[in-house]
A and B are shown apart, each in its own frame.
Chain A
Amino acid sequence: MLVSLKNVNQYVSLEGLSPEEIAKKLTFAGVEVEEIRRLAGGTNLVIGEIKECVAHPNSDHLHVLQVNLGEKYGTTQIVCGAPNARTGLKVIVARVGAKLPEIEIKDGVIRGEASHGMCCSLLELGVDAKYLSDYQKAGIEELPADAPVGEENVLGYLGLDDVVLNLNVLANRPDLLSIFNVARELGALFERKVTLPKVETKEDFKTNLVVGSKTNRCTQFAGKEIKGIVTKPSPKWMSDYLMAMGVRSINNIVDIGNYVMLMTGQPLHMYDADKLAKAELYAQDDYEGDFVALDEKTYKIIKGDIVICCDNKPMCLGGVMGSLACAVDENTKNIYIEAASFDGASIRHTSNRLGLVSESSQRFVKGTNHFQSAFVLDYAAELINELCDAKENSNAVNYQSEKPNDERIKTSIKKINDRLGTEFSKEQIVNVLERLNFGLEFVNDNDFLVAVPQYRLDVTCDADLSEEVIRLLGLENVRSILPCLDTKVGMLTVRQKRLQNIRSFLLAQGLDECVTYSLVSKKRKDEFSLLNKEEHYVILNPLTDEREVFRTHILGSLLSVASYNVARQNKNLALFETSNMISKASRSEHLAIVLVGQDIRQGLLRKENYTFFHMKGLVEGLFTVLGIEPTRYRFDRFVDEGDELHPGKAASIVFQNKKIGVLGELHPNQIETFDLGKTNGVVLELNLEALLEAKVSETKMAQISRFPSVSRDLAFVLDANIAAGDITRAVKKVGGSYVVGCEVFDIYQGTGIAEGKKSMAISVTYRKDEGTLTEKEVNDAEEKIKFELSRNFKAEIRG
């Protein structure tokens, strides 16, 4: 909302207040001033008259002017490039030393001719180009013939000495979309008297116009007939104010419509009375069909749109746009003025659907005062009489289906202070509410009833009143006191703590933690959906097709991060992200990890490629941190149906007999798809739900044996496809209670070993808790192991 301070000053005196002070006060009271804009600027300006205009001897477009600046400054020479410079023209001159918004004027010589100043266009004074005609923009400003030569208050003469505040009117204060209400607000804030125009009802004849509404979406419809208007340009004061408030002047009657709306907040519509078939206007919302609007375009009206009909034909799309059929034009003589109240939601749907959002529709959407039509029509009529030479005014006709809400709010001094944490006195509170035109009636010394002015649509309960009090008395008066509440232990839940531990563990391992977008494209939504294929949530109104579907897996996004980094020469990556995944079937916390390139934690001298086993180790570490023993989960071979993972280097993680995760090296095709370069990658996607909810037992100390252990190595050759895990598990099983550890320390295939075979070496650790093991006890256990290996695994023991 643009507010001209010159305009509002007519209704509340702003004397002695700088625009900055006004802006600050409004901002702290909840009406943020986004910009303070001076309409135009410039010092050392004077009105001059071109006495002589000759072509510049050394230029094909410049003129050399002799300009009379009045008695004080005499006549001076100025070189000017404007095509419209000519003898006799009254112009704005910026004298030497003038500071204009963009430039400073200096004494100079232009192509050999002295120039002591500049003739200005309004653009050069900083006037927004949108208010200027092409002619004005192309040359210097042409002042009227009666412009006073020598006048130094040029901005004042031009009506450009105004300051405009741009108010960010929030949804609760639609009343401030009216200058009169802004004046009331300023009056309350600065404790100054507000004088709004007093209008008289002029009634020369009784109108035949009948108004009404056939829908509850229009609760009020007032009309007035005015005869004998003459359309012509608006006077300067009107076009100046409109310009300041961001509206271009068209002609007197259109301008009055806009001006009255800006002043009162009530949008008006005017019909050419002679173009209507009958003297009737009805609001209805059941019309369906085409509508040719003022802009000569045809719009489809559907049920629910509020339409003003005459003789069952649509004459106006209520609050949005009038029809071409009854539009006011330069030949219009007699008019009907409409001041109605329409349901905001309907106007919102209609204007959004048709793309016809206007100052007028916005006011209906945000809310208007339904009970000021009599005043508004009189105010409009007065302006029309004055500016359009109208001859006769009719009475006003009004349809109104609702009564003003005269319910008063019950509150008390204590309640207001309690909510605010303040100790304002009764006098202070009463003073504030009365400044805001609230009607107060005290029941006793504390309790009182409040009547809210009709235009304050936002005040409906006592919390609203406390807001009025504090925004005027100042939030700096609120004492800061920490609440005294029951002492509670602030703690994360087990689930939250586990998630935090998982993240801490991975960070401690040197992995970088990422955050990526939850919305992905339709095309890529199924990428790396390694865990499940649940139905995605799809956005109904996406901004781009890149962000259209809520993801159910993180990996696709994290691989894109890897791709982004590799493209920027960050080639060795260890990344992870935890995020909540939502599908139509479930909601679960996921973890994804991507390792790309080499593990360079030990420097480039000892780097190694990331492999499946780096990822497996991270997963095992994660389970350890969560307190889940290796016996509670397992890795199963995972063969990807597609080409996302390397078919021989992938596994699923099985916990509580459910596949909760998949890890594996990237398929070479994916390295290519994600542009990861000549490298390798390992990925993991893990659904954390089962882990976050898992029962985990408390750690109990286990006795550490006092007796020494013995290690023995065994080497054997067996079929290449036998898994090492099966061997170590079997060793522990058959070796008896003395076997406390078994680890593979060498695997070899190649020269010396038959095709399809491999050599494996294991180290077995034996210990007895009750005493030192004897040679025989170890030998016996080892024999059992050897026997098992050769019998069940067909292993050929080598030593």
Chain B
Amino acid sequence: MENENLLKLKNAALKEIEEANGVDSLNAVRNTYLSKKSELSSLTSQIGQLPPEERKSFGAALTEVRVAITSAIEEKMTYLKNKELKEKLEKEQIDISLPGTSYDVGGRNPFYVIRDEMIDIFLGMGFEVADGPEVEKDLYNFELLNIPKDHPARDMQDTFYINENELLRTHTSPVQARTMEAKKGAPIRIICPGKTYRRDDDDATHSHQFAQIEGLVIDKGINIGHLKATLELFAKKMFGEKREIRLRSSYFPFTEPSVEVDITCANCGGKGCNMCKGTGYIEILGAGMVHPNVLKMNGYDPEQYSGFAFGVGIERVAVLRYGIDDIRKIYQNDVRFLKQFKKMS
């Protein structure tokens, strides 16, 4: 009879658990069936009044009912909590189209993008980076580079003078002389990036301030082939593996022979277009074998040592690579311009 009641109790409880539709109502069910005041608890407390032979089996039956109800409640509770959490989270939907918190980098003036990349290329070839003053002595800027006073080549580079002996350097080449002086006859492999100045009116293609990267290699047995290969490597790294270079004879007072270096036009690949004025090539830099007089004046024996030197205009490379139509944009620093150059390479 008792067992029958128990079964009824159990079924009634399970039914109420089943019907409970919230954490609160389920807690109420738990209270009804499992609290100290519940029927189950009062039955448990009555075990002692049963005849000893029935106690055990009745106890076991009670336990079984309690376990069944408890686990059903727990199962339902988990289910209900998950359900409520789910409903809560679903209400928390955000507008994912709002902007992300910015971890953006700054824009790097293309001047620096090119400069830094060129430094990387030449560091990889074992070059050191040298440095020299922008207010320079006439001696280093001209005299020691085989450009004595009144040399007609001085007219090629209109100069800002401070006084008779000091000027704003017109090229990075004085660092050649300074490095030779410092290295005292030892082999040299340097580049020197830096600002330079010429008395030019600013327009789309001219700037009174611009920057160059000077390169100088002095060792035994250096020839034009070495210059050509070095610049070829540079051109491919800088402008792409498909680019080819060609050399043209030219003149600089501090190199002999001197060459202008052209690169196949990036726009047409060498076929000829408006950008390269139909030639298929674009001039990128000047170079040559260090003039024996320059070696001699700076303490190197031209019979033993030879070397090559080159000078690349940083803005010129930037203009070609990014299609910058006006060199002044580099110095205006409009942030809408700067922020276009964020890509890391």
Does any Cβ of A come within 8 Å of B204's Cβ? no
Given contacts A173-B251, A467-B257, A478-B224, contact A564 B152 (CB under 8 A): no
A171 engages B333 (CB within 8 Å)? no
By a CB distance below 8 angstroms, the chain A residues around B150 are: 344-345, 348
The residue in A170, A491, A542, A576 that gathers the most chain B C-beta atoms within 10 A of its C-beta is: A170
- With a cutoff of 8 Å between Cβ atoms, the chain B residues found around residue A605 in the complex are 98
Does A163 interact with chain B (Cβ within 8 Å)?
no
Q: Which residue of B lies closest to A580 (CB)?
A: B134
- Stretch touching chain B among A23-31, A85-93, A139-147, A760-768: A23-31
Assess the B106–A463 pair: CB atoms within 8 A.
no
Q: Which of B227-260 contact A (CB under 8 A)?
A: 228-230, 232-233, 246-251, 253, 256-259
Contact between chains at B152 and A543 (CB < 8 Å): no
Q: B109 touching A582 by the CB < 8 A rule?
A: no
Chain B residues whose C-beta falls within 8 Å of the C-beta of A540 in the assembled complex: 160-163
- Mask of A487-502 contacts with B, CB within 8 angstroms, 1/0: 1111111001000100
| A546 CB to nearest B CB, Å | 10
Q: B32 an interface residue at 8 Å Cβ cutoff?
A: no
**Across the interface, which residues of B come within 8 angstroms of A601, CB to CB?**
101-104
**Is A515 close to B, CB under 8 A?**
yes
Asked if B149 and A420 make an inter-chain contact with CB atoms under 8 angstroms apart, the answer reads no
Is B102's CB under 8 angstroms from A475's CB?
no
Q: How far is the CB of A622 from chain B (nearest CB, A)?
A: 14
Inter-subunit contact B102/A510 (CB<8 Å): yes
- List the B side residues contacting A514 at CB < 8 Å: 109, 333, 338
User: Within B159-176, which residues are at the interface with A (CB < 8 Å)?
Assistant: 160-163, 166, 168
Which A residues are in CB contact (< 8 Å) with B43? none
Residues B250 and A488 in contact, CB atoms below 8 Å apart: no
Output the nearest chain A residue to B131 by Cβ-Cβ distance: A496
> How far does the alpha carbon of A49 sit from the alpha carbon of B117 in the complex, in Å?
70
Q: A483-B219, A512-B106 are in contact. Are A464 and B256 (CB under 8 A)?
A: yes
B257 engages A463 (CB within 8 Å): yes
Say whether B187 contacts A587, CB under 8 Å. no
Contact of B334 with A by CB under 8 A: yes
Interface window among B23-31, B119-127, B137-145, B264-272: B119-127
Interface residues of chain B: helix, strand, loop or mixed (majority): mixed
A547–B197 Cα gap in the complex (Å)? Answer: 11
- Among A232-240, A566-574, A676-684, which stretch is in contact with chain B? A566-574
Give the CA-CA distance A461 to B128 in the complex, in Å. Answer: 31
Partner of A519, one of B149, B209, B257, B293: B209
CB of B335 within 8 A of CB of A512, answer yes
List A contacts of B333 (CB < 8 A).
512, 514-516, 561, 564-565, 575
Total B residues in contact with A, Cβ cutoff 8 Å? 88
Chain A: interface residue total (CB-CB under 8 A)? 89
Please provide the chain A residues from 518 to 562 with a CB less than 8 Å away from any CB of chain B in the complex: 518-519, 537-543, 547, 550, 561
* Cβ contacts B84-128/A at 8 Å (1 or 0 each): 000000000000001101111111110110001001001111111
Nearest CB on B from A416, distance (A): 10
Does any Cβ of B come within 8 Å of A184's Cβ? no
List CB contacts (< 8 Å) of A331-390 with chain B. Answer: 344-345, 348, 365-367
Minimum distance in angstroms from A24 CB to a CB of chain B: 9
* Residues B224 and A470 in contact, CB atoms below 8 Å apart: yes
Q: Is the CB of B107 within 8 A of A518?
A: no
Question: A515, B224: Cβ atoms under 8 Å?
Answer: no
- Residue in contact with A475 in the complex, picked from B133, B166, B259, B289, CB distance below 8 Å: B259
Bound: A348/B229 CA distance, A: 40
How many A-B residue pairs lie within 8 Å, measured between CB atoms? 246
Cα separation A230 to B161 with both chains bound (whole Å): 51
Contact indicator B226/A516 (Cβ below 8 Å): no
Tell me the bound Cα distance from A215 to B140 in angstroms.
Answer: 31
In the complex formed, the residue of B with least CB distance to A582 is: B135
Chain B: CB-nearest residue to A543: B199
| B161 engages A541 (CB within 8 Å) | yes
Q: A480-B232, A564-B332 are in contact. Are A541 and B160 (CB under 8 A)?
A: yes
Is A511 part of the binding interface, using a Cβ–Cβ cutoff of 8 Å? yes
Chain A residues contacting B156 (CB-CB under 8 Å) are 171
Which of B151, B253, B331 interacts with A517 by CB under 8 Å? B331
A488 to B123, CA, bound (A): 10
Contact A461 B209 (CB under 8 A): no
B48 at the binding interface (Cβ < 8 Å)? no
Is A28 in contact with B249, judged by CB distance below 8 angstroms? yes
CA distance A669 to B132 in the complex (A): 38
From the candidates A418, A515, A543, A602, name the one contacting B111 in the complex (CB within 8 A).
Answer: A515
Residues of chain A with a CB closer than 8 A to B229's CB: 480-483
**Complex CA–CA separation, A471 to B248 (angstroms):** 8
**Residues of the A chain whose Cβ atoms lie less than 8 Å from the Cβ of B224:** 419-422, 470, 475, 478
- If A28-B248, A489-B126, A510-B102 touch, whether A550 touches B107 (CB-CB below 8 Å) is no
Closest to A482 in B: B229
A478 to B228, CA, bound (A): 8
Is residue A789 within 8 Å, beta carbon to beta carbon, of the partner chain? no
Decide yes or no whether B129 CB sits under 8 A from chain A.
Answer: yes
CB distance B223 to A512 under 8 Å? Answer: no
Q: Is the CB of B129 within 8 A of A492?
A: yes
Complex Cα–Cα for A541 and B338 (A): 32
Name the contact of B109 in the complex, choosing from A344, A481, A515 (C-beta under 8 A): A515
Contact of B222 among A471, A483, A565 (CB under 8 A): A483
Q: Which of A173, A485, A602 contacts B189 (CB 8 A)?
A: A485
Question: A507 on the interface (CB 8 Å rule)?
Answer: yes
Q: How far is the CB of B154 from chain A (nearest CB, A)?
A: 9
Complex interface: chain B residues within 8 A of A602 (CB): 101-102
Is A513 an interface residue, CB under 8 A from the partner? yes
Instruction: Sort A-B residue pairs by CB-CB distance and give the 4 closest, nearest first.
Output: A421-B225, A30-B249, A345-B150, A421-B223
Residues on B lying within 8 angstroms of A by beta carbon are 98-99, 101-109, 111-112, 116, 119, 122-129, 131, 133-135, 149-153, 155-156, 160-163, 166, 168, 187, 189, 195, 197, 199-201, 208-209, 217, 219, 221-226, 228-230, 232-233, 246-251, 253, 256-259, 289, 291-293, 302, 306, 330-336, 338-339
Knowing that A480-B229, A490-B126 touch, tell me 16 more A-B residue pairs with CB under 8 angstroms.
Answer: A171-B152, A173-B251, A419-B223, A463-B256, A463-B289, A476-B246, A500-B116, A509-B106, A510-B102, A512-B109, A514-B109, A514-B333, A539-B161, A561-B333, A575-B333, A603-B101
Taking Cβ atoms with an 8 Å cutoff, the residues of A that contact B are 27-30, 32, 170-174, 344-345, 348, 365-367, 418-422, 461-464, 466-467, 470-471, 475-476, 478-483, 485-493, 496, 500, 503, 506-519, 537-543, 547, 550, 561, 564-565, 568, 570, 573-576, 580, 582, 587, 600-603, 605
14 contacts between A and B (CB under 8 A): A30-B258, A32-B250, A365-B152, A367-B152, A463-B289, A466-B256, A481-B229, A483-B230, A485-B187, A488-B128, A503-B112, A514-B109, A543-B201, A587-B133
